[in-house]
Structure 1
């Protein structure tokens, strides 16, 4: 009987660890996507600044 409770506890812990792992992966994926977006945005801003400087010269 005690073994059944231990098995259930292990299964629940494993499920919780799996959920936590998936949440961390999703959070990391969102952070990477945001970083790519900000990088592209910064590159566009730099390109616009270069064009504005070229026009001013």
Structure 2
């Protein structure tokens, strides 16, 4: 027979230690999961910011091109008069 089978206090101590280890592991996994979720959220925010930046830049370039086109039309109109 083993010592755990003979002495119930040894068995209780082992069970308690195992429960503590399980809780520790669960907490570690919980923290890892939380960190993973946090990083995923930050990556999504960064991607959104990049998209917004590209849209704003495209809009500015479009406006710049429209102004240049208008100036060119005015210059042609003046040249033809």
TM-score when normalising by structure 2: 0.68
Highest CA radius of gyration, 1 or 2?
Answer: 2
- Unpaired segments of 5 or more residues in structure 1? none
Runs of at least 4 residues off by over 4 Å: none
Q: For residue 15 of structure 1, give the secondary structure of its aligned residue in structure 2.
A: helix
1:55 alignment counterpart: 78
CA root-mean-square deviation: 0.7
Task: Give the deviation of 1:4 after TM superposition.
Answer: 1.1
Number of residue pairs aligned between Structure 1 and Structure 2: 57
1:7 to 15, 24, 30: 30
Q: Which runs of 5+ in 2 are unaligned?
A: 1-23
User: Higher RCO, 1 or 2 (CA under 8 Å, sep at least 6)?
Assistant: 2
